[in-house]
Amino acid sequence: MAINATVFKAFLQVADMDRYYYADHTLTLARHPSETDERMMVRLLAFALYADEALVFGKGLSSDDEPDLWQKDLTGAIECWISVGLPDERFIRKACGRANEVVVICYGRPADIWWNENRSKLQQLDKLTVLKLLPENTQALAELASRTMQLQCTIQEGHVMVTCDAGMVEIEPEVLHGDFRSAHA
């Protein structure tokens, strides 16, 4: 965990009807001092979207060489690399050289500007899927953040519903590049 990180505990129930994946996950998230609740909750959502017993949180903000989440096979080969935010195009290209599948989940008001600046280069990467989340959705997710969370995430036909005692957020990630259905299935 990062130095001076704030530790959050999440019990996450995932019901992904699109992938027929139903599991409970007990997760520990270390929120980097420079990370917001919004970004941390987008990382948690990314976990839910690609949930797997082998998916783990990487060092993310604390390292230039690791994603926010990744999944490796038993040989150590990277099956899935997930970055949250607005990563540098060179970082994404490098990730595509190292992993079988790369997912970028962009969010925030500057996401459209970032996509327009990087679109032509990123659309050349076959292993890449780029999803965009609306600011009102990610801000609503941030409001669900607490040091100890019990969340339920239901995914059906690309629609995501995150619920807990504090409320509910409905999200439909927009696919900017790639095929969310094939990458997600």
Query: Would you list the domain boundaries of the chain?
Result: 6-184
Distance CA 44, CA 5 (A): 16
In the structure, what pLDDT confidence band is assigned to residue 2 with cuts at 50, 70 and 90?
A: very low
pTM score of the predicted model: 0.93
Identify the pLDDT of residue 7: 92
Mean pLDDT, rounded, for 146-153: 96
Closest among 42, 58, 72 to 140, alpha carbons compared = 42
Q: pLDDT (tens digit, 9 = 90+) per residue, 156-180?
A: 998 999 999 999 999 999 999 998 7
Token pair listed for 157: 């036909």
pLDDT of residue 1: 47
* CA dist., res. 91 & res. 86, Å (int): 10
Q: What is the phi-psi region of residue 20: left when phi exceeds 0, alpha when psi lies from -120 to 50, beta otherwise? A: left
Segment 59-102, tens digit of pLDDT: 766 666 789 999 999 999 999 999 999 999 999 999 999 999 99
Which run of H or of E encompasses 113? helix 111-122
Q: Give the whole-angstrom CA distance, residue 170 versus residue 173.
A: 10
As separate numbers, helices (DSSP H) first and strands (DSSP E) second, the chain gives 5, 11
Q: Kindly report the CATH class assigned to 6-184.
A: alpha beta
Task: Give percent above pLDDT 70 in the chain.
Answer: 93
